[in-house]
Chains A and B, each alone.
Chain A
């Protein structure tokens, strides 16, 4: 299955591909070894205006997520039915909802809720997925087969269906949502990490370490984990974007974040009955989702451009040329 996973394809391909040039080889070693973090990567990233813009937007979103609860002008659950469904005004920048709550304040706080769900669930997927993938890839053999078949089975389910099934068993709520999203994004991390670990395992310096009797744990920590970090970072950024969308989808179905706690998806759910009556109830949380997801996707793309050795080479040669492989990888993330 590794060959159909384009996210991992470049790393695995660079090591075992027949036509790997010397420059490429050097880059791979740089990535895989414990050399200081890619010199020039930051410069490449900085020079890409799209990435910088996305990073700035993301910074704003993150700051809102951190301080939103404290700077919100109104209490997010302060019901004021007499002022329900007010259009945006000086007093209520984003208007009020059907219970007279301030939509602006709720969007601010929802940012924290949605981001927390996304980050925690992706962190879960990252830790478990990378752990499984690295062990499977480095150990190989029957362990690899067993772990990867389990991952294949999980991959066979559409993301939302699997998440719905998990929530059906555990009951709706924020914690369950985090767990459900975390579980459904675990396989992709396992695959990415395994593919990289496979390629690192055959590197000369790893072989040498093994021959010298270095303990496996040390080799994993010292050589394999740094080797898989590049693709995993890219995957993390993309997964956060999709985790935000998943949380919104689950909450929109009424299964995610429970009222009165706002999340972007939950706010859209609440706005359903008022689409024709109060556009502001749906437009603002919708915009928040759109902007954040776009930012995370663009950042993911930007990081991939500078970290992926093959693309990095291409970038250095012809800056900002779009490579088909990159697009494909981004879309695969979406399908997963």
Chain B
């Protein structure tokens, strides 16, 4: 979930700066261009010793805070760990769940027992065998220690190993979203008990994935080498070296200069120019993230649905999208993007000042002042706030933009000290991720204070509905009501924007921001 994740990103940056200082002292050598293949075998019983092929050089925006997939919430960590760890199931490019460590599964007739059959050809990077006990250990650890993905186990009652190759999960109510809960992202990765207990997992994690971590030089780079025993087939490239470049212009210059092969630090204002460069390939894919504006319904006049609708009609979505994303984002008046199978068509709102004025008059509002919470850590919030301020001025609504640091921002949001704010949610796959916590009257992220018994009923029903078509219909109804009543004023789905060298083949940018290098080739 974005909010916590991004907060960690911030801390990560600070950490990277501190460790960069340390690095000077220890004077580590090496430009991080080549993986030391011999070093990769060190302590990993020869794994990677046979790896060959060119090494991919990837630049990510910052250094991971740690490499324990169940603990970190930093996207920088997952950019690396996506290639090191596996989950029971994993999303394909359409975000449908596909077999991974579990090759098949079935549900009992009452929908309360899920049985997963595990692959029998999987070993960890240190050579030890992967069994059902590892699954039970990993999931129990997340639940018992209340690690960041533990909320995904809300409906899970028990996890047991029936035998070495079978895991049984019982749930308290039918849970059609269990697969995406267990495999939606690498935060649910299966880890090795010995690796966790030795404490090495934070810097030298042992997984089952296509690459193993060979070397982690804090502040400089993380080197992965190909896992020749990978159950999905050994990668063609010899490994991946991650370096950390936070400045987008610097990353692009490095890519154009041939110093790196891949980056996701792409400044949108430069995108057009980059796309015209034959030495660079770009991927622009609509993501499952969404940006929205919320009005505090515990404060007047925003407790009146007509006042909120007035704002929704006054906002110029197109202008906001153009300004913050240079047209790379897709306008959307609901949360779920068009590419998803859960997409619902909805276009109730259009910029209509007269209608907005009418609604406001009906609500008996002649003027209002809005305390708009923004944070310069997400410059889009400051940019959009200025546009919204201009949009609302003709309605007699004065928008005072309050720019604070993100920690303060989160605190103010939590305490309800705002009239309005703009932010986004990311990492959503199942429709429950998009709507429940944000709009259910008891939802953990319902900071705007929206409460509608009908929406509660729909969201609760959809949670346990096992028939996909019926479930989709329930979410469509809930989402439509949510948008009609402007609990959130949805703005757009941003795009995942990445750039890589033409030598890198077989790579695709994914809408869930998972960075997968296992199937790529790299021409030398």
Interface residues of A (CB under 8 A from B): 77-79, 81-82, 84, 98-99, 171-173, 254, 258-260, 273-274, 276-277
Q: Which residues from A are CB-within-8-Å of B404?
A: 171-172
Number of A-B contacts (CB under 8 A): 55
Q: A78-B390, A84-B323 are in contact. Are A259 and B379 (CB under 8 A)?
A: no
Contact residues in B for A172 (Cβ distance below 8 Å): 403-404
- Give the Cβ gap from B376 to chain A, nearest Cβ, in Å: 5
Residues of A within 8 A of B385 (CB): 259-260
**Contact A260/B269 with A84-B323, A273-B379 known, Cβ cut-off 8 Å:** no
CA distance A254 to B249 in the complex (A): 21
Q: A79-B319, A274-B269, A277-B269 are in contact. Are A259 and B386 (CB under 8 A)?
A: yes
Q: Tell whether, in the assembled complex, residue A77 and residue B267 are in contact, meaning their CB atoms are under 8 Å apart.
A: no
Shortest CB distance A99–B (Å)? 6
Q: Does B336 contact A (CB under 8 A)?
A: no
Asked whether, in the complex, the Cβ of A77 is within 8 Å of the Cβ of B389, the reply is: yes
- 14 A-B interface contacts by CB (under 8 A): A78-B390, A79-B390, A81-B323, A84-B323, A98-B323, A98-B383, A99-B387, A172-B403, A259-B385, A260-B386, A260-B389, A260-B390, A273-B267, A277-B269
Interface of B is mostly: helix
B310 CB-CB contact with A under 8 Å: no
Closest CB-CB distance, B232 to chain A, in whole Å? 41
Are A259 and B401 also in contact (CB < 8 A) when A81-B387, A254-B376 are?
yes
How long is the Cα–Cα vector from A171 to B405 in the complex, in angstroms?
10
Q: Tell me, rounded to whole Å, the shortest Cβ–Cβ distance linking A261 to chain B.
A: 9
Inter-chain CA distance A38–B358, complex, in Å, is: 67
Choose among B249, B323, B391, B403 the residue that contacts A259 (Cβ–Cβ < 8 A): B403
Q: Mark B97-121, 1 if CB is under 8 A from A, else 0.
A: 0000000000000000000000000
Q: Which residue of B lies closest to A253 (CB)?
A: B376
B322-A81 in contact (CB<8A): yes
Residues in A neighbouring B322, C-beta threshold 8 A:
81-82, 84
Q: Which of B364-401 contact A (CB under 8 A)?
A: 376, 379, 382-383, 385-387, 389-391, 393, 400-401
Known: A258-B403, A259-B401. A79 touches B386 (CB 8 A): yes
A172 CA to B66 CA, complexed, in Å: 33
* Distance between Cα atoms of A318 and B474 in the complex (Å): 91
Q: What CA separation (Å) do A171 and B402 show in the bound complex?
A: 9
Inter-chain CA distance A236–B434, complex, in Å, is: 57
| Bound complex: CA A309 to CA B216 (Å) | 68
Given contacts A99-B323, A99-B386, A274-B269, 13 further A-B contacts (CB under 8 A): A79-B390, A81-B319, A81-B387, A82-B322, A98-B269, A99-B387, A171-B404, A254-B403, A258-B402, A259-B401, A259-B403, A260-B389, A273-B267
A99, A171, A173, A254: the one within 8 Å of B383 (CB): A99
Contacts of B393 in A (CB 8 A): 77
Chain B residues near A81 (CB-CB < 8 A): 318-319, 322-323, 387
- When C-beta atoms are compared, the residue in chain B nearest to A261 turns out to be B401
Please indicate the chain A residues that have their CB under 8 angstroms from the CB of B400 in the complex: 258
Residues of B within 8 A of A258 (CB): 400-403
Q: How far is the CB of A87 from chain B (nearest CB, A)?
A: 15
B304-337 interface (Cβ within 8 A of A): 316, 318-319, 322-323
List chain A residues, Cβ under 8 A from B401. 258-260
Interchain CB contact under 8 A, A273 and B323: no
Question: What is the distance, in angstroms, from B263's C-beta to the closest C-beta of chain A?
Answer: 17
Q: What chain B residues lie within 8 Å of A274 (beta carbons)?
A: 269
Complex contacts, A82 vs chain B, CB 8 Å = 322
Give the nearest-CB partner of B320 in chain A: A81
In the complex, the 10 A-B pairs of residues with the closest C-beta atoms, listed nearest first: A81-B319, A79-B390, A260-B386, A81-B322, A254-B376, A79-B387, A81-B323, A259-B401, A259-B386, A77-B390
Mark contacts of B244-263 with chain A using CB atoms, 8 A cut-off: 1 yes-contact digit, 0 otherwise. 00000100000000000000
Smallest Cβ-Cβ distance to B387: which chain A residue: A79
B278 to chain A, nearest CB (A): 20
Closest to B327 in A: A81
A258 to B269, CA, bound (A): 23
From residue A266, how far is it (CB to closest CB) to chain B in Å? Answer: 10
Complex: how many Å from CA A258 to CA B387? 14
Distance, CA A47 to CA B383, complexed state (A): 50
Among A171, A172, A259, A277, the one with the most B-chain Cβ atoms within 10 Å of its Cβ is A259
Complex Cα gap A171–B269 (Å): 31
The complex places the Cα of A44 from the Cα of B379 at a distance, in Å, of: 52
Q: How far is the CB of A47 from chain B (nearest CB, A)?
A: 49
List the A residue with the shortest CB-CB distance to B386.
A260
Distance of B419 from chain A, by nearest CB (Å):
15
- Shortest beta-carbon distance from A281 to chain B in Å: 12
Q: How far is the CB of B392 from chain A (nearest CB, A)?
A: 11
- Residues of A within 8 Å of B383, CB to CB, are 98-99
In the complex, the chain A residue whose C-beta lies closest to that of B248 is A273
Q: How far is B404's CA from A173's CA once the two chains are assembled, in angstroms?
A: 10
Asked if B403 and A77 make an inter-chain contact with CB atoms under 8 angstroms apart, the answer reads: no
CB distance from A209 to the nearest CB of B (A): 53
Write out the residue numbers on chain B whose beta carbons fall within 8 Å of the beta carbon of A277.
Answer: 269-270
Which residues on the A side are within 8 Å of B323 (C-beta)?
79, 81, 84, 98-99
Taking the closest CB of chain A, its distance from the CB of B328, in whole angstroms, is 14
A75 to B183, CA, bound (A): 52
Closest A residue, CB atoms, query B249: A276
